[in-house]
Homo-oligomer: A and B are copies of this chain.
Amino acid sequence: MPIENAFYTPEAQGPYQLHSLGRFELEDGGVIDELQLAVATRGTLNDDKSNAILIPTWFSGTHQTWDQVYIGPGRALDPEKYFLVIVNQIGNGLSTSPHNTDDSSIAMSKFPTVRIGDDVRAQEQLLREVFGIERLALVVGGSMGAQQTWEWAVRFPEKVLRAAPIAGTAQNTPHDFLFTQTLLEAITSDPGWNDGEYTSHLQVQDGLGRHADIWATMGLSTDFWKSGFWQAIPMLDGTTTDDFRQFQAGFLRALFQLMDPNALLTMGWKWQHGDVARHTDGDLAAALGRITATTFVMPIDRDMFFPVSDCAAEAELTPGAQLRVLPSIAGHFGLFGFNPEYIDEVDRNLSELLATRV
For A217, what are the chain B residues with a Cβ–Cβ distance below 8 Å?
A: 175, 178-179, 182, 218, 305
For A244, what are the chain B residues with a Cβ–Cβ distance below 8 Å?
A: 174, 177-178
Over the window 208-224 of chain A, the binary record of Cβ atoms lying under 8 Å from chain B Cβ atoms (1 yes, 0 no) is 00100110111011111
Answer yes or no: A248 CB below 8 A from chain B CBs. yes
CB distance from A204 to the nearest CB of B (A): 12
A178 contacts B216, C-beta separation under 8 Å: yes
For A220, what are the chain B residues with a Cβ–Cβ distance below 8 Å?
A: 175
A222 contacts B191, C-beta separation under 8 Å: no
For A134, what are the chain B residues with a Cβ–Cβ distance below 8 Å?
A: none
A309 contacts B178, C-beta separation under 8 Å: no
Answer yes or no: A357 CB below 8 A from chain B CBs. no
Which of A175, A223, A305, A309 has the most chain B CB within a 10 Å cutoff?
Answer: A175
Give A residues with C-beta under 8 Å from B. Answer: 173-179, 181-182, 185-186, 189-191, 206-207, 210, 213-214, 216-218, 220-226, 244-245, 248, 304-305, 307, 309-310
Within the assembled complex, what's the spacing in Å between the Cα atoms of A157 and B260?
Answer: 54
A221 to chain B: closest residue by CB: B175
Given A178-B248, A221-B175, A244-B174, A213–B185 Cβ distance below 8 Å? yes
Which of these, B182, B210, B226, B248, contacts A189 with CB under 8 Å? B210
Within the assembled complex, what's the spacing in Å between the Cα atoms of A186 and B220?
Answer: 20
Which of these, B191, B207, B213, B222, contacts A309 with CB under 8 Å? B222
For A307, what are the chain B residues with a Cβ–Cβ distance below 8 Å?
A: 222
CB distance from A292 to the nearest CB of B (A): 27
For A177, what are the chain B residues with a Cβ–Cβ distance below 8 Å?
A: 244-245
Within the assembled complex, what's the spacing in Å between the Cα atoms of A185 and B226?
Answer: 22
A-B residue pairs in contact (CB < 8 Å), sample of 24: A173-B222, A174-B226, A174-B244, A175-B221, A175-B222, A175-B226, A177-B245, A178-B216, A178-B225, A178-B244, A179-B217, A181-B213, A182-B182, A182-B210, A189-B189, A189-B190, A189-B210, A214-B214, A217-B305, A218-B218, A222-B307, A222-B309, A223-B309, A226-B310
For A190, what are the chain B residues with a Cβ–Cβ distance below 8 Å?
A: 189
Within the assembled complex, what's the spacing in Å between the Cα atoms of A181 and B244?
Answer: 13
CB distance from A328 to the nearest CB of B (A): 15
Within the assembled complex, what's the spacing in Å between the Cα atoms of A71 and B225?
Answer: 37
B310 contacts A222, C-beta separation under 8 Å: yes
Within the assembled complex, what's the spacing in Å between the Cα atoms of A114 and B157?
Answer: 60
5 additional contacts, CB 8 Å, given A176-B222, A223-B309? Answer: A174-B225, A179-B217, A182-B210, A186-B210, A304-B304
